[in-house]
Amino acid sequence: MNAMNEAISKIGVVPVIKLSDPERDAAPLAKALCAGGVPVAEVTFRAAGADQAIRLMREAVPEMIVGAGTVTETSQIDAVLAAGGQFVVTPGFDPELVAYAQEKNIPIYPGCTTPTDYHAALKFGLEVLKFFPAEQSGGLAKIKAMSAPFPQFKVMPTGGISLKNLGEYLRSPIVAACGGSYMVTADLIEGGKWDEITALCKKSRDIVEEARRG
């Protein structure tokens, strides 16, 4: 795997973040995640100001890996790059976006759940795919089934991931990391519950380490 894929895989869990007030929350959230041993974030474009949030998080903790999620337009990739973002995630497989991201030399993780998606991804030389929505699309059983004809891919399951099933996913060698929002819910962020976010990240990292040992 390339350097970014290796770095994300080593952390094992990627918080998927929607910020309604980046100016207020981006910096303290970045610090809370890193304090919990999870120095990575996927900031979704489902809320306005995602590029601002990326910039503020990177300024607060420069060594943190920060990227964008729910990217659906090439202009958003430009905004991510301008903000210092380091990767992009798309909800589905869009060849135009994949090609554009590769042209701009930024890692991209497209949402893929079908043989058609995987086959398309193969032609772009991708290593890691976002498997989204994971639980609703068949979960680990489907991930394993898809790996039979496409053993070259690792996946990042996202959607329905929690502390309860994180370890089950991570014990599979097909899974590079898991995306999740359980440690960065709106209630936790808007309530400024940074200590709780840090605690959930620590629990997640414990699960990652246990799964990888097993």
CATH number at residue 127: 3.20.20.70
How far is the C-alpha of 137 from the C-alpha of 37, rounded, in Å?
Answer: 29
The structure's pTM equals 0.97
Which residues carry out catalysis? Answer: 42, 130
Structure confidence at residue 181 (pLDDT): 98
Q: Which domain covers residue 71, as residue numbers?
A: 3-213
CA 92-90-21 angle, to 5 degrees, is: 135
pLDDT at residue 1 in the model: 84
Number of domains forming the structure of the chain: 1
What pLDDT does residue 35 have? 98
Quote the pLDDT of residue 69.
98
- State the pLDDT at residue 134: 98
What residues in the chain have per-residue pLDDT under 50? none
Residue 116's Cβ-count burial label (10 Å; 0-12, 13-18, 19+) is exposed
Give the pLDDT confidence score for residue 207 in this predicted structure.
98
What pLDDT, on the 0 to 100 scale, is given for residue 79? Answer: 98
